[in-house]
Structure 1
């Protein structure tokens, strides 16, 4: 449920067009409870995203969860 909530209003914060297997990007979204989630997805087809990994960003490593320190 949290992943869906975060994904529905997520925005791209990093783009990896030359990723190893297919273009991918890193999304930032928030659950209804306000929990930040980073979701890395590949986008081989325009109407289909494949989730590669999901994690809660460490505030010690990110400014506003959008820029690496």
Structure 2
């Protein structure tokens, strides 16, 4: 399911059929993350869904790990298709993440 979910998200991003929430735009500006970097990370060959939030009160979403062409790891939380929205994006802190994939200390 995770791979299929990622492929559906990637199809929306490739088609430019997605959007950013106001929160995502604010956080990306604060963190110096560009739209181009988010797209590169989501479409990177090694992108993967690392956490799934099907019961999120704001609507089903997931956390994707992707690497930009410049080698920057990014976590991007986005809603499930068909209406893909980037909720937030950030560079994972190595003190909080093992290999950018597993939270230290367990669950989110």
TM-score, normalisation: structure 1: 0.90
Deviations 1:21-41 (A, max 9, x none): 210000000001110000000
Q: CA RMSD in A?
A: 1.1
- 1:23, 1:37 → 2: CA distance? 20
- Counterpart of 1:43 in structure 2 is 80
- Counterpart of 1:33 in structure 2 is 70
Q: CA deviation at 1:4?
A: 1.1
**Which protein has greater RCO, CA pairs closer than 8 Å, 6+ apart?**
2
Structure with the largest fraction of strand: 1
Which among 71, 88, 91 is matched to residue 56 of structure 1? 91
- 2:99, 2:65 → 1: CA distance? 10
SS of residue matched to 1:6: helix
- Counterpart of 1:66 in structure 2 is 101
Task: Report the count of equivalent residues.
Answer: 67
For structure 1, the residue ranges without an aligned partner over 5 or more in a row are none
Asked if the contact 1:36/1:57 (under 8 Å) is kept, the reply is yes
- Counterpart of 1:6 in structure 2 is 41
For structure 2, the residue ranges without an aligned partner over 5 or more in a row are 1-35
SS of residue matched to 2:38: helix
Q: Specify the structure having the higher radius of gyration (Cα).
A: 2
TM-score, normalisation: structure 2: 0.59
